[in-house]
Structure 1
Amino acid sequence: MDKFYVTDCEGPLSINDNAYEIADFFLPDGGEFFSILSNYDDILVEKQIPNYMAGSTLRLILPFFKAYALTERDLIEFSEDHIHMIDGAYTTIKYVQQLMPSYIVSTSYNQYIEALCTKTGFNYNNTYSTILNLDEYELDMNDQDKLLDIYQNILLDSSFENLNHIFDDIISKMPINKLIESVKPVGGIGKRDAIEDIIKKNNYKPENLMYSGDSITDVEALEYANENDGIAISFNGNIHSISAANISIASDNNLILAVIANIFKDNGTTGVYEFIYEYNNDPLGAILSNMDDNYITQQLLLSKPSIKLVDENKINDLVDESKQTRNKVRGVNISNLG
């Protein structure tokens, strides 16, 4: 009957969007370019194309990383130097790992997740991420020039039709497309598959799952936890994650996840729901009666997180509330990514 915790990384734990930040740092107008690809990726997900993985922006950007001569060493060094955790995350990671088995399932590149684990003390063996072997693929000068021209073309014409033509009719026929095909993003269905792998390997029960995420790549994982009567938390989430969750949290401090994990461990899903009802009537009393760690209690009374059960009739209100905090914590550019 052991409970277990699975979390997305970027959003619930860190304020980074590592791939966006890499593009923004190394590529000209890279943040804008990444956002264009992210929007294209979101549209493809919403079209429900068979076998298409949410989070494929991390694949689509790769030919352009090669065109601008990025290496795995660049990704590693940048990631090590640019890890920014949400307030409370270090304490939450340590606390929850002592409560129950804990896992990170992230769409982020493995280079970033490994760097984050080194910095936070999280067990890298308990992580799933998008494996990238960037250096294994070569790019000749002619294709490099072609991709640099394509890059500028996309910045000038970001329409869905233009991007579809470029990826389906041009890049798909270039040797570098093998790099795209080699990468399997851990997003969407990939995150659900990771959870099922965790359950199978450890003989867990699905109803003992607590999951937290914030974006379109978390939808299937949140739905899995929700449908199996576990805890599905959208943490500073967008409309995609809130619609799939049973709990929506808006907070600039993630220590509230430690409180919920503590309650879930001892009292299950019903106990968490009872806490949320109590919290919305008496925040001070609810925290004090459910957490014996003075530091966590003090921090939460200062940050005053919003914790709501997801009601489909109030989705828009929850999205508006979450968006304000999401923009504040992660910045508007990252916040607007799917």
Structure 2
Amino acid sequence: MIKPKVLFTDGEGPIVFKDLAADMTERVVPGFFKVLSFYDDYLAEIGREGYQAGDTLALVVPHFLAHGVTDEDITEEAKDAQVCKGVKEYVDGLKKDGWEIRIISTAYSQMWELVGDYLGISMDKIACTELNLASLRKMFGTQEFYERVRQTEERVLAALPLWEEAMVEVNDNDSPVVRVLESEKFAHLREELDNLYWRDLPEQGYKTLEAVIVMGGRRKIDAAWQSARDLGVKISDIPYVGDSITDDAMHTYLAEEGGLPIAINGNAYALRNAKVAVATEDMRNLRPVLDAWQQGGFEGVQNFVRAYSEMTFPIAKERAPISEVTNQAYYDLINLANQEGFDKILATHKKFRILVCGAATARLG
């Protein structure tokens, strides 16, 4: 079954290595972003109304405003972004062969203006989080607004050791984040942030999830649907490459609709609803999966993965230690993996997520 030559892909991870929101926040409020990220896990788990995976990028914006961060500052920070190894050749090769590429990214628009220009992908082919601090500052630039934000920051940072203790409970002791942050010991920490985002700022007219609309979670599905319609292709024709929790909803949707969700160096959220997983430092290793899909659908992908595994890991199927690998790729069919197999795939991808950081190239600034 021949598929149209289209690729939809996440940005941070599959294309570029940079956590712009985290890095900018660390510049103005050191130590604060890890608390927000932990709080984000809680909000996602309780299913707060209107909250989507990745909305941390909305939570940080009041802090940018309170510390005088400008759109130009965001652009300057974005210049430190590094394109992942092999991406330029991978993208150029796809474009040369007639593929249409659409990027659907949680990251701020300031970064994609730079990355898109470097890769030759125009902004009309990139769906991302639009951030206009100048406009927001005109509406919410009062001293009272700034003071409420800064006072909360001070109290959170003063309690940072206790926050870190809560994180250990979740990350090292496998305690559910909801149970931890609703416990008697830690609830007052969470309430500090609850009060800021859902009470104090709305009293100032600032609605946290409406001031900045983050391109994450189900909003990625909406963007994909719109792009598919514009291209005249079906959702079932689409391969999508993702690596994190912001891609989980898209992976789930595509799997249900017959598309191809691909996890690249994925975390558990990206892997759990993908159909195929690719662990690699070099993004050019995605191309064989895309070609197999375009030429033969999911059956073609299955045939490629099986043939590659038999050729690369004969007899015992033992894989080389990842520390010894440079351009090696590991391909796995997630839908055929049992729990033990999934855990092994996850362990491989965790190691590659670390390696990709060191392999990133081509600083944009």
Question: Which TM-score bucket, shorter chain as reference?
Answer: 0.7 to 0.9
1:140 aligns with 2:167: no
Equivalent position of 2:318 in the other structure: none
8 Å CA contact 2:106, 2:129 repeated in 1: yes
Equivalent position of 2:331 in the other structure: 307
1:173 aligns with 2:203: yes
Letter in 2 for 1:82: D
CA separation of 1:47 and 1:97: change in aligned 2, threshold 3 A: farther
Equivalent position of 1:74 in the other structure: 73
How many residues align? The count is 311
| Residue deviations 1:110-143 (CA, integer Å, cap 9, x gap) | 1111111112212321110011111112322233
8 Å CA contact 1:134, 1:179 repeated in 2: no
Equivalent position of 1:261 in the other structure: 290
1:96 aligns with 2:90: no
Equivalent position of 2:350 in the other structure: 323
**Cα distance in 1, alignment partners of residues 119 and 236 from structure 2:** 28
8 Å CA contact 2:239, 2:290 repeated in 1: yes
Among candidates 241, 252, 267, match of residue 238 of structure 1 = 267
Unaligned runs of 5+ residues in structure 1 are 286-300, 332-338
Letter in 2 for 1:147: V
Equivalent position of 1:39 in the other structure: 38
| Residue deviations 1:277-298 (CA, integer Å, cap 9, x gap) | 111111399xxxxxxxxxxxxx
Equivalent position of 2:179 in the other structure: none
Equivalent position of 2:172 in the other structure: none
Q: What is the deviation of 1:274?
A: 0.6
**Cα distance in 2, alignment partners of residues 145 and 162 from structure 1:** 14
Q: What is the deviation of 1:329?
A: 2.1
8 Å CA contact 2:148, 2:196 repeated in 1: no
**Cα distance in 2, alignment partners of residues 223 and 168 from structure 1:** 29
Q: What is the deviation of 1:92?
A: 1.0
SS class of match (2:105) = strand
Equivalent position of 1:27 in the other structure: 28
| Residue deviations 1:182-240 (CA, integer Å, cap 9, x gap) | 21111000111111111222221122111000111001111122222222111111111
Within a 5 Å distance, the mapping from 1:1-338 to structure 2 comes to 1-24=3-26, 26-29=27-30, 32-79=31-78, 81-99=79-97, 100-138=99-137, 139-157=141-159, 158=163, 159-175=189-205, 177-178=206-207, 181-283=210-312, 303-310=327-334, 311-313=337-339, 314-330=341-357
Q: What is the deviation of 1:302?
A: 5.1
Equivalent position of 2:183 in the other structure: none
8 Å CA contact 1:243, 1:312 repeated in 2: no
State TM-score, norm by structure 2. Answer: 0.80
SS class of match (2:16) = coil
8 Å CA contact 1:4, 1:101 repeated in 2: yes
**Cα distance in 2, alignment partners of residues 75 and 213 from structure 1:** 24
Equivalent position of 1:291 in the other structure: none
| Residue deviations 1:5-32 (CA, integer Å, cap 9, x gap) | 10000001111111112222x3131xx3
**Cα distance in 2, alignment partners of residues 283 and 248 from structure 1:** 16
**Cα distance in 2, alignment partners of residues 232 and 213 from structure 1:** 8
SS class of match (1:137) = helix
CA separation of 1:96 and 1:43: change in aligned 2, threshold 3 A: farther
CA separation of 1:208 and 1:180: change in aligned 2, threshold 3 A: closer
CA separation of 1:108 and 1:171: change in aligned 2, threshold 3 A: same
Letter in 2 for 1:69: G
| Residue deviations 1:25-78 (CA, integer Å, cap 9, x gap) | x3131xx31121122112211222343222110111011001110111111222
Equivalent position of 1:335 in the other structure: none
State TM-score, norm by structure 1. Answer: 0.86
SS class of match (2:17) = coil
8 Å CA contact 2:235, 2:257 repeated in 1: yes
Runs of 4+ with >4 A deviation = none
Q: What is the deviation of 1:305?
A: 1.1
**Cα distance in 1, alignment partners of residues 35 and 326 from structure 2:** 38
Q: What is the deviation of 1:164?
A: 1.9
Identical positions, percent: 26
Instruction: From the CA coordinates, give the structure whose radius of gyration is larger.
Output: 2
Report the more deviating stretch, 157-166 or 216-225: 157-166
| RMSD, matched Cα | 2.0
